[in-house]
Chain A
């Protein structure tokens, strides 16, 4: 179910993947949250990570972001094994995360949040707020030109604006690898489409994106390849153009690759009203 079933390769298979997670295992107590999963990501590519609740998508990404290191397995960036023990390590390798809950300090302004943990300072060691505000203004101009409120605490911003701040944080520091954990979960339709545009734009800039999502439509619109997880294991990775949405749903729910699903199982899937894509 793990290595052998990884059927899909991106078109440019000769290149070295930007990231490769090999045989990653994470357990909490006796529970194997991630059990020997291998996935990879190429520059300028979006890989959708899908699966029901508790499938281990977020936990897998935590090993790459440094939020929760893996118990075993290897992380390769540009083909070389790297050690990621904490968020700081991850950032050194150009890994940035946009969390579901955004992870913003609500009481601090946009610039303070963009630079949180990596503040600019003058020679004397004082924070250089003006430089940070100016840099934030520049990034924002690229991401969300209507965003002008640099002085208010982010608490007073709208969901989309807060999302812009979280994304600006990743973009400003020249992320090469972006992990987006349910980036549109808390957003309205207009803001969602804004985020989608942004993902397309970042992709064009050569950034590799892991997109964790419950929403199969989101994934089908944005991802190049889709990796499906079920109960901590990788069901398989497929090229989006080679599968139907039904087949991916079958992977999510039954845990079988497109060729393996029987007609009865397919029928059963359709018999159920809406498969549990929202967990």
Chain B
């Protein structure tokens, strides 16, 4: 704190750089998150230019939001797992298994075994509830083995990876494709009917704006009550305006601008995105404002300190896997509903996408570092890359190469930033960009 009284900078540039830094610091915004938003904007503008204006359309961005949702939902849970120095390789298989189970509930067990028939108003709720409960139990079992059995999470979840995928073929229908699904359940996938529609989307936007203003005021009041340093009021107002503008823009320019090809009405926010928003809020709350989240981060930062602090670290670790299982069931519902079918290879390779999203989103494998919004952004960045490359007609193997290169580049840049090696940052960024550009250029037009 004494550094603040350092002699005034002699050069004007130095002082202006400092005032910029102070301004950014006073917003208390995560600079890493800020960097990711910038990267996303660059990617969007880049693809928009390369695709001659096809990328930043309401239709493409709406699709992007739906496509990102499933991975993003799971990535929020993966953050907690990786922050507490574990890994979960089983999420893709678990998703497949849970999706198949939920489909069995609505196409077989409810209508035939219990004999209540198809398309009951409660069918989708029962199916979803079974999926969530099963996800929690399976996550809990894996977490129990990791936390209380002392088996490395890599091994336990590798086992889960094999077991849950294999079990799909042992359920009643021996791996046949199950379709069609319950009509209400299908809405969870965000098809033609599966979105909020125009006025509800606006209502959601207004609700969100009220929430933003409310939370800013509340945090200010709390700080005032305890005589803590306050952010300059202009910054709070600025953040509020920016947040509300982003929400209203997303609804007005994307969700409600996109007209459904079937109903020819504004579609509004798709249900998978609604689920993602709720999950993101709930998980952020869990991570930042609950003891559980605090303990996850404390354990990740220093397991010994957490233990000595009297934290029940085993229970905490087990619960991270329970949360992951529940999130897998939500993503499973979204994916099966979107397909309107349960297939055996549902969720194949999703574990890699989920881990990549969390890592691109700033989650560190050394533990203790990661944010929920970051992981969601990571998922959106990955999906933006894929979606942009699809627009440029780049084949799927080349897409994988680019995503892989971006993943490694992102982590390298992050590592270089941490040790403040600017040349390293520039080198990594440049190398990543050049390789991606070459792959994209040579993969085009096939």
Contacts and interface: CB of A to CB of B under 8 A. Distances in A.
B227 interface: yes
A116 B1 contact: no
Given A116-B311, A119-B294, A105 B226 contact: no
Nearest to B302: A105
Interface centre among A87, A97, A130, A148 (most CB of B within 10 A): A130
B291 A131 contact: no
A88 B310 contact: yes
B133 interface: no
A103 B302 contact: yes
A105 B228 contact: no
Interface in B298-317: 298-302, 304-311
Interface stretch (A120-128, A224-232, A248-256): A120-128
B308 A103 contact: yes
Interface stretch (A5-13, A106-114, A182-190, A236-244): A106-114
B368 A105 contact: yes
B21 interface: no
Contact of B369 (A107, A112, A129): A107
A146 interface: yes
Given A104-B302, A106-B301, A108-B294, A133 B369 contact: no
B305 A149 contact: no
Q: Is the interface of B mostly helix, strand, loop or mixed?
A: helix
B305 A127 contact: no
A114 to B, nearest CB: 10
B222 interface: yes
B308 A97 contact: yes
Contacts of B285: 126
Contacts of A97: 308
B358 to A, nearest CB: 16
Classify chain A: how many residues form its interface, as a range. Answer: 35 or more
A131 B225 CA distance: 9
Nearest to A97: B308
A105 B305 contact: yes
Contacts of A149: 1
A107 B310 contact: no
Interface centre among A91, A119, A150 (most CB of B within 10 A): A119
A106 B301 CA distance: 6
B297 interface: yes
Interface residues of B, number: 31
A127 B394 CA distance: 48
B28 interface: yes
Nearest to B83: A107
B222 A130 contact: yes
A260 B306 CA distance: 46
A110 B297 CA distance: 14
B223 interface: yes
A103 B299 CA distance: 11
B420 interface: no
A116 B305 contact: yes
A171 to B, nearest CB: 16
B308 A105 contact: no
Interface centre among A97, A108, A113 (most CB of B within 10 A): A108
B290 interface: yes
B289 interface: yes
Given A91-B310, A121-B291, A146-B1, A106 B302 contact: yes
Contacts of B302: 103-106
Contact of A133 (B226, B290, B307): B226
A216 B302 CA distance: 31
A127 B297 CA distance: 14
Given A127-B291, A127-B294, A103 B226 contact: no
A104 B368 CA distance: 12
A151 interface: yes
Interface string B370-409: 0000000000000000000000000000000000000000
Given A103-B305, A107-B301, A130 B226 contact: yes
B289 A87 contact: no
A134 interface: yes
A97 B307 CA distance: 13
A134 B288 CA distance: 18
A237 to B, nearest CB: 27
A87 B310 CA distance: 5
B306 A126 contact: no
B290 A151 contact: no
B290 to A, nearest CB: 6
B284 to A, nearest CB: 12
A67 interface: yes
Given A130-B225, A130-B228, A105 B301 contact: yes
Contacts of A150: 228
Interface string A14-35: 0000000000000000000000
B290 A125 contact: yes
A134 B226 contact: yes
A86 interface: yes
A117 interface: yes
A137 interface: yes
A150 to B, nearest CB: 8
Contact of B300 (A67, A86, A107, A121): A107
A113 B288 CA distance: 14
A104 B307 CA distance: 11
25 contacts: A67-B308, A86-B310, A87-B308, A99-B308, A101-B304, A102-B305, A103-B308, A105-B297, A105-B298, A105-B305, A105-B309, A108-B294, A116-B305, A117-B311, A118-B309, A119-B291, A125-B290, A125-B291, A126-B285, A127-B291, A130-B225, A131-B226, A133-B226, A137-B227, A149-B1
Given A106-B368, A127-B291, 14 more contacts: A88-B310, A91-B310, A105-B297, A105-B305, A106-B301, A106-B302, A107-B297, A107-B298, A108-B294, A116-B294, A116-B298, A118-B309, A127-B294, A129-B289
Interface of B: 1-2, 28, 222-223, 225-228, 285, 288-291, 294, 297-302, 304-311, 368-369
Interface of A: 67, 86-88, 91, 97, 99, 101-108, 112-113, 116-119, 121, 125-127, 129-131, 133-134, 137, 146, 148-151
